[in-house]
A and B are shown apart, each in its own frame.
Chain A
């Protein structure tokens, strides 16, 4: 009781001394309460048969929504969604980082600074446009009647290929588009890390007669390795989070392609906007949040053991 009182008076004296700090934080606190914490009790919707008219008073059905999602083992909805989400993310992370590192490492060696600057600007272009535009571009490339690629096939005398009817090609297209869009941003980040390497090491290597290739192999890459491993580990924590706008703008609600391209986020969106089965959507969303949380915790604990400086918290 006494310690509680003490705590209260201590807080109050701190409040009196730094009133301004507290006032300046009000917008931030209100913002996160309204948009992040207030929705959290809504996880309860995962356990109801959601009815628009009744809202929170919809009938409670226990774990029925989860049963529906998990029914059928390897044929279940949740297995398909998880598999797609995780595999796409692994491809995004692996290929994306590989291309970004390769481009940054090469840019570091190029001596014409003007060339480096211009090419970096051009590579950032896709980062600055919305996914809607990306959708326009993919449509122009792959559509059956006017698409560039089918045009090209046609002019070479091959038969046209109907991309929008064939699910097999889309995983490759989506991964490619994602790598393309994120390349410039990643190059900025990795080039900053490379430019942070002590220049005297490069000079020493140069004096020893090391070629460009050898400097990459024996200086840049080994010194970049810890950064890369940590970034890779940390990005594994977000492997259940999907990039909704990428999938939605490229695929939309095209039922033919959904089997190969449906991720948790697009499924949840459809329960909200197309099927109006929000209980199911909340259950899928809760599954994503809870497992995502566990995943981040595991990753962070691992990173903390390997190198405490790089841990997230």
Chain B
């Protein structure tokens, strides 16, 4: 009887516990669902707006669900000469070249900094780190880029200044430090030189870190608008994001340049902005769920500290 009683108590405790936990699980999932929805809905807003007709938006305003379905906005955007294809070419070019070269230079610097037989590694690390503590600021940098390096209106200004960052270099160095030294030593005994060890041993082993840094770089290049705004005057070298920004600022002017307004076509300017936004950011939103694991994986392994 005594034993039975004890058992019963245990049972109730267990039931009470799981009842509370179940409630917690439900509330937790509702909260997270709401937050996640809040992160996605704005994009659905743009998407549905880009498929709506200008008239529907003029009457009802923007909405989360499409009010009607038309491809007019996309057709008009693509009829704007070859601005969009050109911007795609520029953006793809700087993304591929920038991320490729950036990964090689970052890994090379990170590798040397991680070598314990390199005597001046701390000096070199401080040389890099100091730039995060103190900088000259926008105007002196602008004047150097324009007056000394002559990068004004040059596509290289969209690539070169973002190739290296202290964050990426230290991330790569920290990742390499987690690779056992013995591997390096055995390669050295086999007669491999410093560069060969980097190229044949370290690079293949550091794929997760390379994926992470490559992804950071590619994302930054794809989303580039800031330097384009400062340095690029020639519309043939606009990046997608800057083209979009420019369009938001003066869409009417663009039409008059193209001579479309004069023909008397009704301009779907509001939906056009949304269609361009979708064209500019679509590839990122399609790709990122697939590459997300590299992004989080390498970030955690490399650690963030300088």
| A binding-site residues for B, Cβ under 8 Å | 14, 18, 20-21, 24-25, 27-29, 31-32, 34-43, 45, 55, 103, 106-107, 109-112, 115, 118-119, 121-126, 128-133, 135-137, 139-141, 145-148, 150-151, 154, 180, 183-184, 188-189, 192, 209, 211-213, 244-245, 249, 265, 268-269, 271-273, 278, 281-282, 285-286, 288-289, 292-293, 296-297, 312-313
Q: How far, in whole Å, are A288 and B136 apart by their CA atoms in the complex?
A: 10
Assuming A25-B112, A119-B36, A136-B277, is B28 touching A45 (CB within 8 A)?
Answer: no
**Does the CB pair B46–A137 fall under 8 Å?**
yes
**Shortest distance between the CB of A51 and any CB in chain B (Å):** 12
Q: How far, in whole Å, are A133 and B222 apart by their CA atoms in the complex?
A: 12
Q: How far, in whole Å, are A141 and B134 apart by their CA atoms in the complex?
A: 38
**Does the CB pair B60–A121 fall under 8 Å?**
no
Neighbour of B133 across the interface among A21, A55, A271, A296, CB < 8 A: A296
* A312 contact set on B, CB distance < 8 A: 305-306
**Does the CB pair A285–B245 fall under 8 Å?**
no
Q: How far, in whole Å, are A27 and B292 apart by their CA atoms in the complex?
A: 30
Neighbour of B28 across the interface among A109, A141, A289, A313, CB < 8 A: A109
* B25 contact set on A, CB distance < 8 A: 109-111, 212
* B285 contact set on A, CB distance < 8 A: 125, 128-129
Assuming A28-B108, A122-B36, A151-B63, is B58 touching A265 (CB within 8 A)?
Answer: no
**How many residue pairs at the A-B interface have CB separations less than 8 Å?**
267
Size category of the binding interface on chain B = 35 or more
* A249 contact set on B, CB distance < 8 A: 245
Interface presence of B190 (CB below 8 A): no
7 cross-chain pairs, A with B, having the tightest CB-CB distances, nearest first = A42-B140, A285-B137, A130-B223, A39-B136, A20-B194, A151-B61, A39-B140
Q: Mark B19-47, 1 if CB is under 8 A from A, else 0.
A: 01100110011011101111110110110
**Does the CB pair A103–B248 fall under 8 Å?**
no
Neighbour of A24 across the interface among B111, B129, B148, B241, CB < 8 A: B111
The 14 sampled A-B contact pairs (Cβ below 8 Å) are A28-B124, A41-B140, A42-B141, A106-B32, A115-B29, A122-B37, A123-B35, A128-B284, A154-B61, A180-B38, A184-B39, A188-B300, A189-B299, A212-B25
**Does the CB pair B24–A122 fall under 8 Å?**
no
Neighbour of A285 across the interface among B64, B129, B133, B136, CB < 8 A: B136
Q: How far, in whole Å, are A24 and B136 apart by their CA atoms in the complex?
A: 27
* B195 contact set on A, CB distance < 8 A: 20, 24
Assuming A34-B149, A150-B61, is B49 touching A140 (CB within 8 A)?
Answer: yes
Complex interface residues of chain B between 164 and 219 (CB less than 8 A to chain A):
164, 169, 193-195, 198, 219
Assuming A42-B144, A132-B280, A293-B133, is B63 touching A28 (CB within 8 A)?
Answer: no
**Does the CB pair B144–A38 fall under 8 Å?**
yes
Q: Which residue of B lies closest to A129 (CB)?
A: B281
**Does the CB pair A128–B288 fall under 8 Å?**
yes
**Does the CB pair A31–B149 fall under 8 Å?**
no
**Shortest distance between the CB of A34 and any CB in chain B (Å):** 7
* A150 contact set on B, CB distance < 8 A: 61
Which of B82-90, B92-100, B113-121, B255-263 lies at the binding interface?
B113-121
Interface presence of B69 (CB below 8 A): no
Assuming A24-B111, A28-B109, A31-B164, is B61 touching A147 (CB within 8 A)?
Answer: yes
Q: How far, in whole Å, are A180 and B34 apart by their CA atoms in the complex?
A: 13
| B binding-site residues for A, Cβ under 8 Å | 13, 17, 20-21, 24-25, 28-29, 31-33, 35-40, 42-43, 45-46, 49, 57-58, 60-64, 105, 108-109, 111-112, 115, 117-120, 124, 126-129, 131, 133-144, 147-149, 160-161, 163-164, 169, 193-195, 198, 219, 222-226, 230, 241-242, 244-245, 248, 270, 273-274, 277, 280-281, 284-285, 288-289, 292, 295-296, 299-300, 304-306
Q: How far, in whole Å, are A232 and B199 apart by their CA atoms in the complex?
A: 39
Q: How far, in whole Å, are A192 and B297 apart by their CA atoms in the complex?
A: 10
**Shortest distance between the CB of A258 and any CB in chain B (Å):** 17
**Does the CB pair B35–A136 fall under 8 Å?**
no
Q: How far, in whole Å, are A107 and B284 apart by their CA atoms in the complex?
A: 25
Q: How far, in whole Å, are A110 and B28 apart by their CA atoms in the complex?
A: 7
**Shortest distance between the CB of A149 and any CB in chain B (Å):** 10
Assuming A28-B169, A312-B306, is B139 touching A282 (CB within 8 A)?
Answer: yes
Q: How far, in whole Å, are A213 and B42 apart by their CA atoms in the complex?
A: 32
Q: Which residue of A lies closest to B144 (CB)?
A: A39
Known contacts A137-B46, A213-B20, then 9 further A-B pairs from the complex at CB < 8 Å, ordered by chain A residue:
A40-B136, A45-B139, A110-B29, A110-B32, A128-B284, A132-B242, A183-B39, A265-B138, A297-B133
